[in-house]
């Protein structure tokens, strides 16, 4: 994971030293815990200098220090403009087994432009916005570092060479830090698929036939799949199906249930990529 250091350094600089909103670049950014509070519509419309609204009348020196070096990433207006949590949807991954998929936001302006800039041009200036949005994903109930792992959507060797980096893995690493749940890279993607962009759902599913292979057994029973954009959910569905088909017991005896896995899926954004 050493190659992820430049991304982490850029995020630290954005979050702790840049007091301006990473989206509008006009108003002060606000620390994440303060953005979690409910604001009145009057607060949102006034916009103003967001950071000063949360300061006590006579801040201590420690409070001033925390304000200076923990400004956050977005102002409260921009935060509210992008953090509309989509309704979860489900896909079938095995007989009687569904995969719930939850995205952090919709694949619309400005997220569409930011994701494309980071994914296809490695535009580092968009990463803080993506990280802020990623943090809106609700932490899975009952999941922690000892019983769960995050499985980032694998990329092919050919695509990794072409891009020079793995954008989904970069984002998954940040989600891992936020949730304090480790990454697990025990699934490989076969180099015989094409990009899913622009394909119909039927074409996506056909394109992903036998696209994933487990290279080791999952270390825990709770698997949290992650992708950057979920359109129809076909990629996450195929990944979930591969895990189920390659880990389920070969016997139908109900007493052999040690290989039963709890699988959920998460994405940065949900919507059409066309």
Q: Which domains does the chain have, with CATH numbers?
A: 2-81 (no CATH), 84-270 (3.40.50)
pLDDT of residue 16: 82
Q: Do 236 and 227 touch, CB atoms closer than 8 A?
A: yes
Q: How far apart are CA 226 and CA 151, in angstroms?
A: 6
Task: Mark the ranges of the chain whose per-residue pLDDT is less than 70.
Answer: 1-5, 37-70, 192-208, 248-259, 273-274
Give the H or E element holding residue 104: strand 97-106
Give the H or E element holding residue 151: strand 148-152
pLDDT of residue 104: 97
pLDDT of residue 251: 37
Burial 159-170, CB ≥16 within 10 A → b, else e: eeeeeeebbbbb
Q: How far apart are CA 141 and CA 160, in angstroms?
A: 33
pLDDT of residue 173: 95
Give the H or E element holding residue 167: helix 167-179
pLDDT of residue 274: 56
Beta bridge partners of 109: none
Q: Is the peptide bond before 178 cis (omega within 30 degrees of 0)?
A: no
* Alpha-carbon distances, residue 274 vs 65, 88, 90, 200 (angstroms): 46, 21, 21, 10
Count CB atoms within 10 A of the CB of residue 156: 16
Q: At 12, is the secondary structure helix, strand, or coil?
A: helix
Q: What is the DSSP string of 73-100?
A: SS-HHHHHHH--PPPPEEEEEETTEEEE
Q: What is the DSSP string of 208-256?
A: TTT-EEESS--SSSEEEEEEEEESSSHHHHHHHHHHHHHHS-SS--TT-
Q: Do 114 and 78 touch, CB atoms closer than 8 A?
A: no
Q: How far apart are CA 269 and CA 103, in angstroms?
A: 5
132: tokens are 């802020």
């Amino acid at each position: 994971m050493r190659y992820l250091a430049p991304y982490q350094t850029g995020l630290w600089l954005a979050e702790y030293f840049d007091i301006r909103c990473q989206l509008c670049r006009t108003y002060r950014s606000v620390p994440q815990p303060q953005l979690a509070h409910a604001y009145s519509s009057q607060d949102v419309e006034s916009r103003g200098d967001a950071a000063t609204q949360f300061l006590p009348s006579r801040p201590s020196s420690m409070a001033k220090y925390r304000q200076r070096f923990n400004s956050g990433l977005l102002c409260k207006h921009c935060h509210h403009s992008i953090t509309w949590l989509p309704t979860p949807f489900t896909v079938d991954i095995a007989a009687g087994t569904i995969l719930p998929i939850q995205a952090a936001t919709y694949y619309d302006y400005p997220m569409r432009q930011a994701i494309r800039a980071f994914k296809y041009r490695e535009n580092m200036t968009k990463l803080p916005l993506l990280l802020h949005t990623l943090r809106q994903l609700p932490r899975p109930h009952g999941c922690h570092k000892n019983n769960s792992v995050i499985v980032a959507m694998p990329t092919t060797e050919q695509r990794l060479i072409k891009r020079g980096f793995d954008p989904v893995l970069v984002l998954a690493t940040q989600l891992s830090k936020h949730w304090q749940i480790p990454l697990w890279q025990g699934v490989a993607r076969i180099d015989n698929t094409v990009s899913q962009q622009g394909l119909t759902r039927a074409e996506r599913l056909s394109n992903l036939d036998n696209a994933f292979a487990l290279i080791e057994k999952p270390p825990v029973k709770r698997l949290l799949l992650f992708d950057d954009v979920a359109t129809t959910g076909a990629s996450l569905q195929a990944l979930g199906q591969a895990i189920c088909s390659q880990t389920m017991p070969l016997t139908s005896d109900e007493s052999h249930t040690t290989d039963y896995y709890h699988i959920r899926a998460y994405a940065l954004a949900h919507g059409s990529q066309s």
